[in-house]
Amino acid sequence: MAIIKSNERVGEGIFLLEIEGIFRGKPGQFYMLKVNDEYPLLSRPISIFEITEDTIKFLYQSSGEGTKILSRKSEGDAIYLRGPYGNGFPSVEGKIALVGGGMGAAPLYETGKQLLKKPAITTVDLFLGFSYELVLKDKWEKISSRFFYDIGGYVSNLVPVSNYDVIFSCGPDVMMKKMTEAGKANGVPVYVSIESRMACGIGACLTCTCHTKNGNRKVCKDGPVFLGEDIYEL
């Protein structure tokens, strides 16, 4: 069991959960969070928002029953946590754009934080799109060279794709597909992080199978990060 340090509402139905302990994980990986011994039976796959020396943080939206129960938990409550799972974002060099939509912003925080530390990275520009409000306003500038955001529109329109060597994207399918298309037109590789329902999280149940150009892949184990071109028909 893992003990909750805080579970703060940071936007409309959006929460930042902080768990005590020393946790492993690289940007783009996820953990399986289970809120109860009983119902619901399955864990929820939630990507790493941030890892600090003595905590791990998850930014999540309270949407289904599992995350609704999670949102009612508070300091001192225990949940089950297992992971990290998945491949995470690849190691890259040069000028990087991070493009996130909605809760797809979550994995980009630790990603930006880690990228900024690397000498081989010259720029980390962050583009976020939200439907109604910008959450965690004061945090994003700290993990990016420049930060741009959009409310209610299409964040993908803000990205000067040809300025970058690599793009990481996470969010709605429409957005990730658009980024992949723009990347292809400009010769810029776009990596996308796919969201999927999962049962086991370790590659056995085949719930999260996704079709790629190279055949069926498991989002939990082969992903969640894939080359956009392998996922989307362009």
Partner 1 sequence: MSCNLRVKFNHMEFKNPIVAASGTFGFGEEYNEVYEVETLGGICSKGLTLNAKEGNSGIRLWETPMGILNSIGMENPGVKEFVRKELPKMKKYNTRIIANVGGATEEEYLTIIEELNDTDLDMIELNISCPNVKEGCMAFGIHEKSAANIVKQVKRICRHPLVVKLTPNAENIVKVAASCEAAGADGISLINTFKAMAVDIEKRKAVFENVYAGLSGPAIKPIALQMVHEVSKAVSIPVIGMGGIMNWKDAVEFIMAGAHLVQIGTVNFVNPEAGKEIVLGLQNYMEKEGIKSIDEIRGIV
Interface residues toward partner 1, by CB under 8 A: 34, 38-43, 65-66, 82, 197-200, 202-209, 211, 216, 221
What is the closest distance, in whole angstroms, from the C-beta atom of residue 172 to partner 1 in the complex?
Answer: 17
Comparison of 37 and 53: residue with beta carbon closer to partner 1: 37
Comparison of 41 and 185: residue with beta carbon closer to partner 1: 41
140 and 126 in contact (C-beta within 8 Å)?
yes
Peptide bond into 172 cis (omega under 30): no
Helix (H) or strand (E) holding 115: helix 106-116
SS3 102: helix
Q: In degrees, to the nearest 5, what angle opens at C-alpha 17 toward C-alphas 12 and 19?
A: 175
Comparison of 3 and 41: residue with beta carbon closer to partner 1: 41
Q: Which residue from 49, 6, 44 is spatially nearest to 25, judged by alpha carbons?
A: 49
Distance in angstroms (rounded) separating the CA atoms of residues 189 and 181: 10
What is the closest distance, in whole angstroms, from the C-beta atom of residue 169 to partner 1 in the complex?
Answer: 23
What is the closest distance, in whole angstroms, from the C-beta atom of residue 41 to partner 1 in the complex?
Answer: 5
What is the closest distance, in whole angstroms, from the C-beta atom of residue 114 to partner 1 in the complex?
Answer: 25
Comparison of 182 and 208: residue with beta carbon closer to partner 1: 208
Comparison of 30 and 191: residue with beta carbon closer to partner 1: 30
What is the closest distance, in whole angstroms, from the C-beta atom of residue 2 to partner 1 in the complex?
Answer: 15
Q: Which residue from 226, 222, 225, 220 is spatially nearest to 85, judged by alpha carbons?
A: 220
